[in-house]
Chain A
Amino acid sequence: MYDNLWLIPLFPFVGFLINGLLGKKIRNEKIIGAIATLAIFSSFVVSCHYFMQLLDDPQKIHQVVVAKWITAGPLHVNWEFLLDPLSGLMILNVSGLATLITLYSIGYMHGEEGYARFFSYMNLFAFAMLMLVLGGNALVLFVGWEGVGLCSYLLIGYYYEKKSASDAGKKAFVVNRVGDFGFLLGLFTLFWSLGQKGVWTINFVEIAENVHLLENGGLVVTVVTLCFFLGATGKSAQIPLYTWLPDAMEGPTPVSALIHAATMVTAGVYMIARMNGLFAMAPDTMMTIAIVGAATALFAATIGLAQNDIKRVLAYSTVSQLGYMFLAMGVGAFTAGIFHLLTHAFFKACLFLGSGSVIHGMHHAFHHAHLNDDPQDMRNMGGLRKKMPITFITFLCSTLAISGIPFFSGFFSKDEILWWSFASTRGHWILWAVGAFAALLTAFYMFRLVFMTFFGEQKTAAAAKDHIPESPFVITFPLMVLATLATFGGLLGVPHALGKLFGHMPNILEEFLAPVFEHTQHLHEIHAHGSASTEYMFMSISVAIAVVGIGIAWVMYCKNPELPGRFVAAFPKLHRAVFNKWYIDEFYDAMVVNPTKKLGTVLWQIFDARFVDGLVNGVAKVVRGSGRVLRYTQTGYTHNYALSMAVGVVVIIAICVIN
Chain B
Amino acid sequence: MEQLLTQIAIFVIAAFLGWELISRVPNMLHTPLMSATNAIHGIVLVGAIIVIATASDAFTLTIGFIAVVFGAMNVVGGFWVTNRMLGMFRPPKPRVMKRKG
Please say whether chains A and B are actual partners in one complex: no
A: residues with CB less than 8 A from B are: none
B: residues with CB less than 8 A from A are: none
